[in-house]
């Protein structure tokens, strides 16, 4: 079955003729990105925490599993973008898919191993399961459907905290760009399904998707809104209820928009990791239904 979506480089055009220069370039580029990101993560996450013997840590109950959704998204997107890079080198399409997916798992596994030696964290089996799930979703669709009918996407919108807990939020999630990675209250993860790919004979636009979102709100701790301050005093904000939210929204698969410029295809492919803002309806565990004119 021919691929319905547009990617930065079409495997049919390169005819599996590997370009050694490009192979070395992509290999070196990915290595550089991995090393650079490890250095950045060391500064953002591990600096200031003692190194200990390797150990496991069960963090599945924490943060309403928002961090686990983040692992699936990260693994999926690294697999997708890495595969596109390897396709550009001209290697066989099957090898590009395998390399892209395996490099994603290898990269994230190294991070988990680093967690295993950190006093603050530990090796999380739950994280690894979600890493494998994200990469597996990409790989299975490439080999099964020859296209990505289902994509994991991400959206972020700054969360407004009550002034009485703003300092707690700053301590947990930071105050700058790092909040995009750390503030689980501001994140939403989406499973975005391309409608036309499931109904190929319909007249539905090829780029139109239906997205199912998941988020959680008002979390001021891993499992409860109770914490101990640096001076040893206990703060109990159980009066602020933690809740989950489930959303339904429209989306756009940018890779299915027909464009001729290769540079524009590349940009569309990269931006496609993020869900396009659109109207949405929310169902949450507080028993409320919320309609958004535009959800970011």
Each residue's pLDDT tens digit, 30-42: 888 888 877 877 7
Confidence of residue 209 (pLDDT cuts 50, 70, 90): very high
pTM of the predicted structure, to 2 decimals:
0.90
Task: Write the pLDDT tens digit of every residue in 140-181.
Answer: 999 999 999 999 999 999 999 999 999 999 999 998 888 999
Mean pLDDT computed over 39-48: 74
Alpha carbons within 13 angstroms on the beta-carbon side of residue 160 total 0
pLDDT value at position 240? 97
Pick from 107, 106, 105, 87: nearest CA to 97: 87
Task: Write the pLDDT tens digit of every residue in 255-274.
Answer: 999 999 999 999 999 999 99
pLDDT value at position 44? 67
Pick from 99, 68, 67, 70: nearest CA to 83: 99
Residue 167 and residue 169: Cα distance in Å, rounded? 5
Cβ pair 58, 126 in contact under 8 A: yes
Cβ pair 80, 148 in contact under 8 A: yes
Confidence of residue 7 (pLDDT cuts 50, 70, 90): very low
| Long-range Cβ contact pairs of 21-29 (< 8 A, separation 24 or more) | 22/88, 22/89, 22/90, 23/89, 23/90, 23/91, 25/89, 26/85, 26/86, 26/88, 26/89, 29/85
Pick from 201, 217, 191: nearest CA to 134: 191
pLDDT value at position 2? 40
């Amino acid at each position: 079955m021919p691929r319905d979506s547009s990617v930065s480089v079409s495997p049919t055009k390169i005819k599996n003729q590997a370009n050694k220069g490009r192979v070395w370039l992509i290999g070196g580029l990915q290595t550089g990105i991995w090393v650079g990101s490890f250095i950045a993560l060391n500064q953002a996450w591990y600096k200031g925490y003692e190194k200990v013997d390797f150990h496991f840590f069960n963090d599945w109950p924490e943060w309403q599993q928002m961090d686990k959704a983040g692992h699936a998204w990260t693994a999926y997107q690294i697999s997708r973008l890495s595969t596109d890079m390897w396709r550009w080198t001209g290697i066989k399409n099957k090898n590009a898919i395998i390399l892209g997916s395996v490099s994603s798992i290898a990269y994230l596994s190294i991070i988990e191993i680093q967690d295993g030696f950190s006093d603050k964290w530990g090796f999380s089996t739950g994280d690894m399961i979600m890493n494998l799930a994200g990469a597996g979703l990409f790989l299975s669709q490439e080999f099964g459907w020859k296209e990505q009918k289902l994509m994991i996407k991400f959206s972020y919108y700054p969360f407004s905290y009550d002034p009485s807990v703003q300092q707690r939020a700053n301590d947990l999630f930071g105050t700058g760009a790092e909040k995009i990675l750390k503030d689980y209250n501001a994140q939403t993860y989406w499973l975005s399904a391309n409608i036309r790919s499931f109904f190929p004979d319909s007249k539905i636009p090829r780029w139109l998707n239906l997205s199912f979102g998941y988020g959680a709100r008002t979390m001021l701790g891993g499992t409860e809104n109770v914490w101990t301050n640096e001076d040893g005093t206990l703060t109990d904000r159980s009066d602020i209820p933690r809740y989950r939210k489930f959303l339904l929204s429209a989306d756009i698969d940018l890779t299915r928009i027909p464009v001729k410029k290769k540079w524009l295809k590349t940009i569309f492919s990269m931006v496609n990791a993020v869900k396009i803002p659109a109207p949405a309806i929310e169902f949450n565990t507080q028993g409320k239904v919320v309609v958004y004119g535009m959800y970011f």
